[in-house]
Amino acid sequence: MNKILVVNKPNNLTSSFVVNKLKRFFSSSKAGHSGTLDPLAEGVLVIFLGSMTKIIPFISENIKRYKVKMLLGLETDTLDIAGHITKSSGMKELDELYINKVVKNFQGEYEYDPPQYSAIRVNGKRSYKNAREGNFVEIPKRKSTINSIRINKIGSSTLELDIECSKGTYVRSLVRDIGLALGTFGTVVKLTRTSTGSFSLDKSNDFYDLLRGENPEFYELSNLFPVIVVKKEVVNQLRKLTNHKNVDISLISKQLEVNPINIVASNESPLLIVKNKYDDYGKYICSEIKFF
């Protein structure tokens, strides 16, 4: 099976567990995913089955959207409610206007310390593995962009937020830093990814429904990239150039120069991926070609 599947990952399951379970369920030769979710998090997880794994490096998911519920007054070692409490403080009454002002200050470029419990590699080893062994190592600061952040609800000790951010943002770190900016601590209680790139929660498949045998709704490849059907001789010419990163296809097909990424097909079956490079003026330079 060669398909793209958008799944609503349940909480308390790892992304790799969900991928491997569906790989076996659909009897796929291989499977992969883009954009790992924390075990506590739920929401959009994009799974690529069979030959569709080859398009993962070409997927652009620069914009991600989340709904998060945060608890004020506590911080844990994992920065979510599943961890061990490391810090706590009494809650003073906070003015709603003040909370809004503090939260809005996080819009724009955001520099932060990533969580110790994360998949970031430090000296070749995943940070969460070090943390589980009690070895807390220094992780270099990172930068991302918070495009928008909006408060949905203010409770007595909780905040519910809508966040739109760039790829690479750790929402757990953002929640911690919002808590500190409010003069207390903060930890994630619930986290839902509502979209990543063009993949959205309202078009996702429920994980457990799939395992019960409900018909899956697959994501169409043509929604990601233009699928261009060409003659067999054109496919044969392109095949000779596969796995080269800087080839000139202008003499083979002008049609393939137009879009940054094209899926080349024969009789509507995807065969090749063509990724184009352009100069600063938008003029075609060369292409990278890969087999499906």
| CATH number for the domain harbouring residue 286 | 2.30.130
The Cα 71–Cα 68 span in angstroms is: 10
Taking Cα atoms as reference points, which of 194, 193, 205 lies closest to residue 6? Answer: 205
Looking at the fold, whether 110 and 202 belong to one and the same domain comes out as no
Regions of the chain short of the pLDDT cut 50 = none
Please report, as a single letter, which amino acid is at residue 54. K
Residues 172 and 255 grouped into a single domain: no
Among 38, 77, 202, 209, which one carries the catalytic annotation?
Answer: 38
* Cβ atoms 136, 116 nearer than 8 A: yes
Residue with tokens 């760039």: 166
CATH of the domain at 25: 3.30.2350.10
Same-domain status, 53 and 88: no
CA-to-CA distance for 71 and 277, rounded, in angstroms?
Answer: 46
Identify whether 38 is a catalytic site residue.
yes
d(CA 253, CA 153): 54
Question: Helix crossing, 171-181 with 96-104: angle to 10°?
Answer: 130
Instruction: Answer yes or no: do 182 and 209 share one domain.
Output: no
Shared domain check, 183 and 147: yes
- The candidate with the shortest Cα–Cα distance to 195, out of 291, 75, 61, 88, is 61
Specify the pLDDT at position 268: 63
Q: Is the pTM of this model over 0.85?
A: yes
Radius of gyration in angstroms for the set of CA atoms belonging to the chain, rounded to a whole number: 22
pLDDT at residue 289, as a whole number:
84
Q: What residues make up the domain containing 46?
A: 4-60+198-220
Query: What beta strand segments (E) does the chain contain?
Result: 4-9, 31-34, 42-49, 63-72, 74-76, 85-88, 108-112, 121-122, 125-126, 142-154, 158-166, 186-196, 199-200, 205-206, 218-219, 227-229, 261-266, 269-278, 284-291
- Say what the pLDDT of residue 105 is: 97
88 in Cβ contact with 73 (< 8 Å):
yes
Q: Based on the domain organization, do 49 and 140 belong to the same domain?
A: no
16 and 108: one domain? Answer: no
β-bridge partners, 266: 269
Name the domain count of the chain. 3
Same structural domain, 248 and 176:
no
Does 98 lie in the same domain as 73? yes
Q: Residue 64's closest CA among 142, 140, 141, 170?
A: 170
Return the amino acid letter for 148: S
Coil, helix or strand at residue 218:
strand
